[in-house]
Amino acid sequence: MCYGAGRYNYKEVLHKSILFYEAQRSGVLPRNNRIPWRGDSAVHDSSPDGRDLSGGWYDAGDFVKFNFPMAFSTTTLLWGLIKFKDGYVASGELANMYDSIRWPLDYFIKCWDEQNKVYWAQVGDGNKDHDYWGRPEQMTMARPAFSVTRSSGGTEVSAETAAAMAAGSIAFKTKDPSYSARLLEKAKSLYDFAYHYRGTYTDSVPAKDFYASNDGYTDELCWGAAWLYKATGHHSYLQKAHDFSHSDSDEFSWDGKIRGCQVLLHEIAKEKHDTTNEHRYKRYIEGFVDNWLPGGSVHQTQCGLGWLMQWGPLCYAANTALIALIAAEDGIKTTTYRTWATKQINFMLGDNKHHRSYVVGFGHNPPVRPHHSSSSCPNMPAPCGWDQFDSHAPNPHVLYGALVGGPDKHEGYVDKRSDYIHNEVACDYNAGFQSALAGLVHLQARSHLPSVTPPHGCSGL
């Protein structure tokens, strides 16, 4: 196998992806805010009984705080930090990453009312929010908060947030031991709540039109338990993870976590010399990733992108690339999976039919009109509204690092703000992508990055 220096500057993209998450911050911004066109916003977000719910990340190009995809994004980013920490070190981004990922974790701590067993799972009304185009700093619409309780249940969002906090406790164990311990205690009690008071979260939180749980909640129960086992070593969590682990899915995403859980369980089995479960979960992982490779059932575009669906195809490919890179680290088809994952990320950075980057502010001919409200607004005091939405001009502010949804199955793509299917950005779009980038920098640092050649006519360099 030949090894190379990398076709693109992965460290630069990693740096810019962290900036994207900083642009998504809600609440009172820190003194070291690096996004000059962003200011304090939604600082009075709260529950009806006055619980402070400020902070967290805005979901996408809008200003709702949907905890379900936010928690998935947080867990997935933490997975990359834990697994490929040396990639962040080599990029000079470790301190920025710790600062970045603490923002949603602090918010989740606020959202979990442990004493009353109430988890605040969303702030903002999706429909009313989408009637507004402008700056978050100037929002005037009501921002109601919605919770899941013992009577209503809300297993998906609760177990996913428990996973995020458990992963956070691992990531911060040496960085900030007291913060790590606090996250772990919150994770344990929130997972216990998710496990014992089961129910579909959209029965009580109005997110069905945006983030309906199509995969049910057993995958989150698996995922949360696996992370809690990694954080505690308590066998009861491992048994719960095994109980919920035996299902299939074509995706690893905000909705479907089972493939992530199976990767963790394979890793745990390998560490414990449990050959039966090691082989069992290896078969699950290979069945999933192989399906994305040429010859599998997932559609391959002209330039080699694994294309699963119309909405966010780059996100799904990046998430699968992350799974492939972690599986490769654990000894599963190492060369094949690293090569395929590298090609997927390279496609997003320029190795495609249009020889363009799909990352705002990076590479050749990147998107300049992402479907993102705040970056489409000129500097204050100039007004911002639907005229800016309809404008053909580039967004006045560069939303550095944001991965857009991506092309259609024939690699057709138009950089058009109103085309939210192909041009929206979102926290979950960048999560697997950023962690995969950390994985590629990790391979570079160890001289294990595969040297790949794009198909004929697909080179972006």
Q: Which residues pair with 145 in a beta bridge?
A: 123
Q: For the segment 29-76, what is each residue's pLDDT rounded down to a tens digit?
A: 999 999 999 999 999 999 999 999 999 999 999 999 999 999 999 999
Kindly tell me if the per-residue pLDDT of 317 is higher than 90: yes
In the chain, % of residues over pLDDT 70? 99
d(C-alpha 151, C-alpha 111), whole Å: 17
Contact 430, 27 (CB under 8 A): no
pLDDT of res. 97: 98
Nearest of 403, 370, 289 to residue 16 by alpha carbon = 403
pLDDT of res. 175: 97
- Among 95-109, 204-218, 232-246, 437-451, the range scoring the smallest mean pLDDT is 204-218
Supply 431's token pair.
């999560």
Kindly tell me if the per-residue pLDDT of 409 is higher than 90: yes
Give Cα separations from 377 to 28, 112, 384, 397 (angstroms).
20, 34, 5, 8
Q: DSSP of 46-83, one letter per residue?
A: B-TT--B---SB--SSS--EEHHHHHHHHHHHHHHHHH
Contact 433, 425 (CB under 8 A): no
Longest dimension (CA), the chain: 64
d(C-alpha 14, C-alpha 215), whole Å: 30
Kindly tell me if the per-residue pLDDT of 1 is higher than 60: no
Three-state DSSP at 41 gives strand
| pLDDT band at residue 4 using 50, 70 and 90 as cut-offs | low
Q: Which amino acid is at 259?
A: R
Kindly tell me if the per-residue pLDDT of 445 is higher than 60: yes
Q: Which residues are catalytic?
A: 62, 371, 415, 424
pLDDT of res. 2: 55
| pLDDT band at residue 460 using 50, 70 and 90 as cut-offs | confident
Q: For the segment 268-311, what is each residue's pLDDT rounded down to a tens digit?
A: 999 999 999 999 999 999 999 999 999 999 999 999 999 999 99
Q: What does pTM read for this prediction?
A: 0.97
Contact 426, 322 (CB under 8 A): no
| Domains annotated on the chain, with CATH | 10-445 (1.50.10.10)
